[in-house]
Amino acid sequence: MRSALALLPVPIFLARLTVAHLAAFNKGMYCLNGTVAGQPDVNSGDPVTPLWNLQQSDYWFHHVNKCDEFPPAPGDFLELPAGGSFTVEVASNQGLTTLTDGGKHTSEWPDGQNHPEDYSITNLAGAPLSPSGCIRNPNMHTQNQSMAAGTAFAIAYVSDISQVTPDNLVVFSVRYNTPWKRVTSYDVPANMPACPEAGCICAWNWIPNGCGEPNMYMHGHKCMVTNATSTTPVAAPKPPVWCEEDQSQCVQGAKQVMVWNQAEGNNIAVTGYDLAGDHKSPAYNSKCGFKDGAQNDIFGNASNGTSSRKKRMTHKVKRAGLFF
Ligand SMILES: *[C@@H]1O[C@H](CO)[C@@H](O)[C@H](O)[C@H]1NC(C)=O
Ligand SMILES: *[C@@H]1O[C@H](CO)[C@@H](O)[C@H](O)[C@H]1NC(C)=O
Ligand SMILES: *[C@@H]1O[C@H](CO)[C@@H](O)[C@H](O)[C@H]1NC(C)=O
Ligand SMILES: *[C@@H]1O[C@H](CO)[C@@H](O)[C@H](O)[C@H]1NC(C)=O
Ligand SMILES: *[C@@H]1O[C@H](CO)[C@@H](O)[C@H](O)[C@H]1NC(C)=O
């Protein structure tokens, strides 16, 4: 089969890359091949666009361009080995991952280009700076690897994406200093219980630390826990809080995905400056109480006695009135 990439006029493809941001690509993702029914786009950038100042119904699972309406092929899941790790491809376009053309257009980096190993605003090797003085290509919203804010995967133990709410979506894995390279791995807690037979719903999340519009990223995946041995469910998650200056103030246990700078549904607010002297920006790192790697404290009745199942039902009722 001829690749659609080869047929695209080069300038158009490059033009798309310069505006692109990032998403985590894999076969279990929603809106693989884009968001036009019947017209697979193997150079889709649909999941990578930032979310800013949107209604909840639009930012949630990137509904703003209908990403959530295009599930992966039946049987394709992002597999999460309990106690192990999994990899995804962080990229600015599907065409720059192994999902397209057998990976012919990939590099070590999310933009398919080559960059120095210690790529930074002081080691650009000819690449441009962004208008905000950060790395521009790929659009990683950072000055260097150590400033990269961190990204996270969250899971909801439901199989229907429309059943996922802020109250049942739990952050289970964090990778500090990402997004950075294309192939990125995340660790899975050993105690992750199995999903329902039709799988779970996962979300990839990122809030960059400045370097442009203060937006957020979220998109969906069908996922499945493999090698599960524990049956204790995940606890109902709580909204994280900023706790950089005093780690004793961090929220312990299961935490929600952070919603920031949207038109509604924000669950974290910050004011002032962080310890580095920059405007505070919530992040999937220690500033908001997230440890690097598997989040091992998310199970059981960590939120005071109520069983997770009972809690979930309470939230379902609440959701009918408050959410969507
Ligand atoms: C994506 O497009 C490729 C190439 O047309 C096709 O082989 C694959 O089945 C498609 N997958 C989905 C989920 O649409
Ligand atoms: C599952 O567990 C078995 C036995 O403990 C182990 O050999 C195997 O590597 C595990 N598989 C994964 C995907 O982690
Ligand atoms: C990364 O960038 C920040 C902000 O520009 C800077 O303070 C820091 O020294 C840099 N770190 C490295 C390792 O280059
Ligand atoms: C859950 O509650 C039971 C009974 O109160 C307690 O024994 C157990 O340690 C709790 N587990 C967690 C993870 O809090
Ligand atoms: C449980 O409730 C007590 C009293 O309301 C509170 O102090 C404590 O922080 C709670 N623990 C957790 C893990 O939510």
Q: Phi, psi at residue 112, to the nearest 5°?
A: 75, 5
Which atom of ligand 2 lies closest to the CA of 82? 14
- In whole angstroms, how far apart are CA 209 and each of 59, 150, 275? 19, 9, 13
179: preceding bond cis by omega (within 30 degrees): yes
Ligand 2 within 6 A of CB of 113: no
In this structure, the number of other CB atoms found within 10 A of the CB of residue 186 comes to: 22
Q: DSSP letter at 297?
A: T
Both tokens assigned to 92: 């600015």
Could you tell me the strand order of the sheet in which 23-25 lies?
23-25, 85-91, 183-187
Residue 215 carries which side chain, given as an amino acid letter? N
Which atom of ligand 5 lies closest to the CA of 238? 14
**Burial grade of 190 (CB within 10 A; 0-12, 13-18, 19 or more):** middle
Strand, coil or helix: 122: coil
**What per-residue confidence (pLDDT) applies to 195?**
98
Which atom of ligand 1 lies closest to the CA of 42? 2
Residue pair 8/96 in contact (Cβ under 8 Å)? The answer is no
**What per-residue confidence (pLDDT) applies to 19?**
52
In this structure, the number of other CB atoms found within 10 A of the CB of residue 62 comes to: 26
The pLDDT tens digits along the chain (324 residues) read: 444 444 443 334 444 444 579 999 999 999 999 999 999 999 999 999 999 999 999 999 999 999 999 999 999 999 999 999 999 999 999 999 999 999 999 999 999 999 999 999 999 999 999 999 999 999 999 999 999 999 999 999 999 999 999 999 999 999 999 999 999 999 999 999 999 999 999 999 999 999 999 999 999 999 999 999 999 999 999 999 999 999 999 999 999 999 999 999 999 999 999 999 999 999 999 999 999 999 999 998 644 444 444 444 434 333 333 322
Residue pair 172/294 in contact (Cβ under 8 Å)? The answer is yes
**What per-residue confidence (pLDDT) applies to 305?**
43
CA 271 – ligand 5 centroid, Å: 26
**What length does the chain have?**
324
**What per-residue confidence (pLDDT) applies to 67?**
98
Strand, coil or helix: 80: strand
Indicate the domain borders of the chain.
1-324
In this structure, the number of other CB atoms found within 10 A of the CB of residue 104 comes to: 13
Residue pair 142/136 in contact (Cβ under 8 Å)? The answer is no
Q: Which of 90, 59, 30, 23 is nearest to 258 (CA)?
A: 59
**What per-residue confidence (pLDDT) applies to 321?**
31
The CA distance from 321 to 114, in Å, is 50
Candidates 227, 229, 230: which one to mutate for ligand 2, based on the most atoms within 8 Å of Cβ? 227
Q: DSSP letter at 273?
A: B
Where would I find the beta strands (DSSP E) of 82-126? 85-91
The CA distance from 249 to 238, in Å, is 13
**What per-residue confidence (pLDDT) applies to 85?**
98
| 226: enclosing H helix or E strand | strand 217-226
**What per-residue confidence (pLDDT) applies to 204?**
98
First to last CA, the chain: 42
Cβ contacts of 272 within 8 Å, gap of 6 or more: 279, 280
The CA distance from 56 to 51, in Å, is 10
**What per-residue confidence (pLDDT) applies to 306?**
42
**What per-residue confidence (pLDDT) applies to 301?**
67
Ligand 4 within 6 A of CB of 300: yes
Residue 221 carries which side chain, given as an amino acid letter? H
Residue pair 195/162 in contact (Cβ under 8 Å)? The answer is no
Ligand 3 within 6 A of CB of 132: no
Q: Whose CA is nearest to atom 12 of ligand 5?
A: 303
Which atom of ligand 2 lies closest to the CA of 227? 1
